[in-house]
Amino acid sequence: MKFICPLLVVSDMQRSREFYENLLNQKVKFDFGENVTYHGDFAIHLQSHYAGLIDNKTITFGGNNFELYFENNELEQIVQVLKDNHVSFVHEIREQPWRQKVVRIFDPDKHIIEIGESLEHLVLRLNQEDMSADQIIRITGIPSEHVNHILRQKTS
């Protein structure tokens, strides 16, 4: 069996497409009308159509039990764009215990979206803060091979 992608049920396809395509810059891979798959390998499916596929069982939003994760190394800029577009925040930029900076927002149907700096960016940022490779490995939990590879590329 092969896993293909997560699928989010959405109440308004146009509103959700504007959110994902215009605010989060996602590119459409397949457009089936009531079901759209993005190149990031996740899909959105229109609630009114999807309900029929599951025998009209109740669909609820805002469960806070699932998130889609994206990366962007310019968090301050993306946060400003999101604020300018009146996006609801779960929380603004904060550091996770492993020091990665992230922000969490809600999409139009209250699905949680996390946007974090890439792990490569994190390693380089911590190194710029005068942390050694060993300190970065201990704090972040990123494997030593990966940290050392990132730091070697920086000096190349």
Domain ranges of the chain: 7-117
Q: What is the per-residue pLDDT for 64?
A: 92
pLDDT band at 154 (very low <50, low <70, confident <90, very high): confident
- As a whole number of Å, the CA-based R_g of the chain is 18
Question: Residues 133, 138, 140, 145: what is their CA dihedral angle, to the nearest 10 degrees?
Answer: 50
**Residues 100-149 pLDDT 10s:** 999 999 999 999 999 999 999 999 999 999 999 999 999 999 999 999 99
Nearest to residue 54, comparing CAs of 114, 9, 4? 9
Q: What is the per-residue pLDDT for 34?
A: 96
- Name 106's bridge partners: 112
What pTM was computed for the model? 0.92
**Residues 30-70 pLDDT 10s:** 999 999 999 999 999 999 999 999 999 999 999 999 999 99
Question: Does 155 have pLDDT greater than 90?
Answer: no
Q: What is the per-residue pLDDT for 156?
A: 66
The CATH architecture assigned to 7-117 reads Roll (3.10)
Taking the C-alpha atoms of residue 144 and residue 156, their distance in angstroms, rounded to an integer, is 18
Taking the C-alpha atoms of residue 146 and residue 156, their distance in angstroms, rounded to an integer, is 15
Note whether 133 and 156 are within 8 A (CB). Answer: no
